[in-house]
Structure 1
Amino acid sequence: MNHLVVFAHPNPKSFGKGIVDTVVKASEEKGASVRVRDLYQIGFDPILKPSDFVAFQSGKVPEDIGAEQEHVKWAEVITFVYPVWWTSMPAILKGYVDRVFSYGFAYEYVEGTPNGLLKGKKALLFSTTGAPSEMYAANGMHNSMKQATDQGIFNFCGIEQVSHAFFGAVPHVSDEVRKGYLKEVEKIIKENL
């Protein structure tokens, strides 16, 4: 099993990095090959430029996008680890999706109907929040975020199996609660690989 982990947090000592480390360890214990793409560490450029469109239209993929698309092609499971900022993913990760999950690679239109090109892959999302999960659940925000990412991005691109876990109030909960979150991450990984 090939497992790609895409991580988007500017703090290399964040709880999100603890999630990444848990994902890698649990994946390797299941015998998976793992690649981690730390978007801040690699300096991924999230800005979709006019030159990107020109390149795509001429059948050429910019080198940095092509490299990331090769990682996505290789993967059978793609895991995204990121903090929720303003009820969405960080701009660097949204830019990754904008540039890497491009037309002709992740989706196409056939006679005006969208067709996902990433069929057969699984997506796992681990999102951390500063606010308590109960607040997001009560006001419907968890469902809104799942609809935007799970359906609007991954299902649209043909990825039918999507699991999305939220870990609330990360800066404010006890170490015991955070350890429990990591146990849940481990369980989800082992169930999905």
Structure 2
Amino acid sequence: MVGEQATTRGRHAVILCHPDPSSFNHALAGAYCNAVRAAGQEVVLRDLYAIGFDPVLKAAERPTNVAAVYGPDVITEVDAIAGCDVFVLIYPIWFGTPPAMLKGYVERVFGAGVQPEAMQDRARTDLLGGKRLVSFSTSAASKVWLDEQGQGQGLNSVFDQYLVHAFGMRSQEHRRFAHIVPGLSTRFADQYLREVAVQAQRTCAQIAFGDEALLADPALVARMGN
């Protein structure tokens, strides 16, 4: 059974939201994508600033609109990430929440056609239902300060868990990197990038072998990329 599961080819949608191409967020995205490709799985990278994504929800796109009409950019995005097994969000924390552009992506793309009743019932949506959510966030603030503000718990409640419940997703994991500032030491940067690569390998193994098999034999992760 494990052998059969190992032939499964996973597909990862990596949604990157940071305006600076030289940012650490871009490095995190690169580390994740490289690890997934090394494991023999597929990556669909959507760099929201690079593609100039418009985050503003249009009146005609509101799900409660009986004759909702979606913009060509929304249709393009849905087509690009349809069929993915994992949705990876990579973003900085700005004033306690993800950037407006990422929130707009959730509203216009993830939420396209999703009715309020379905969200409340935790119904599985066509795009995200039963899929995994993996998040990587960065902050210039220290971990101590963020903990004092309840940042991790708050973001988990209003964003991570909300997405999982609203779209009927399978699970969520979130790795947070604090004190990401200019002059970040190479030692810490490399350590964080390795952590992202390991998370990518683990997620690939979950897709390829299944959660139960991975729990029974954690060494399966080491096979990814070898």
> Do both proteins adopt the same fold according to a TM-score greater than 0.5, normalized to the shorter chain?
yes
Unaligned runs of 5+ in 1: none
For residues 123-164 of structure 1, what are the alpha-carbon distances to aligned partners after superposition, in whole Å with 9 as ceiling and x for unaligned?
Answer: 110000000123212432111111111111233211121110
Instruction: Confirm or deny that 1:132 pairs with 2:142.
Output: yes
Shift of 1:72: 3.1
Q: Secondary structure of the residue that 1:156 maps to in structure 2?
A: helix
Q: Distance in 1 between matches of 2:149 and 2:61?
A: 38
| Matching residue within 147, 159, 167 for 2:177 | 167
User: In structure 1, what is the Cα distance between the partners aligned to 2:106 and 2:65?
Assistant: 15
> TM-score, length-normalised on structure 2?
0.78
182, 186, 191: which one pairs with 2:193?
182
Q: Tell whether the 8 Å contact from 2:60 to 2:69 is kept in structure 1 after alignment.
A: no
State the distance in 1 between where 2:166 and 2:155 align: 15
CA 54–125 in structure 1, closer or farther in 2 if over 3 Å, else same: closer
- Report the AA paired with residue 97 of structure 2: S
Q: Does 2:164 match 1:154?
A: yes
Letter in 2 for 1:36: L
Q: Counterparts in 2 of 1:105-124, with a 5 A limit? A: 105=114, 109=117, 113-117=121-125, 118-124=128-134
Q: Does 1:65 align with 2:74?
A: yes
Q: Which letter maps to 2:33?
A: V
Deviates more, 1:179-188 or 1:113-122: 113-122
Alpha-carbon distance change, 147 to 30 in structure 1, aligned in 2, over 3 angstroms: same
Taking the aligned partners of 2:145 and 2:30, their CA distance within structure 1 comes to 28
Q: Which runs of 5+ in 2 are unaligned?
A: 1-9, 205-226
Q: Distance in 1 between matches of 2:90 and 2:65?
A: 28
1:174 Cα deviation from its structure 2 partner: 1.7
Secondary structure of the 2:18 match is: coil
The 3-state SS of whatever aligns with 2:167 is coil
**Do the aligned partners of 2:36 and 2:200 also contact (CA within 8 Å) in 1?**
yes
Q: Which amino acid aligns with 1:162?
A: Q
**Residues 140, 55 of structure 1: alpha-carbon distance in 2 compared, 3 angstrom cutoff:** closer
Q: CA RMSD in A?
A: 2.0
Name the residue aligned to 2:28.
19
Aligned residue identity for 2:74? I
Radius of gyration: which is bigger?
Answer: 2
Kindly indicate whether residue 199 of structure 2 is the aligned counterpart of residue 191 of structure 1: no
Supply the distance in 2 between the matched residues of 1:21 and 1:53 (Cα, whole angstroms).
34
User: Separation in 1 of the partners of 2:63 and 2:153?
Assistant: 36
C-alpha distance in 1, partners of 2:14/2:29?
7
Give the deviation of 1:62 after TM superposition: 2.2
Give, in whole Å, the separation in 2 of the partners of 1:41 and 1:168: 25
TM-score in terms of structure 1 length: 0.90
Instruction: Output the CA distance in 2 between the equivalents of 1:78 and 1:32.
Output: 14
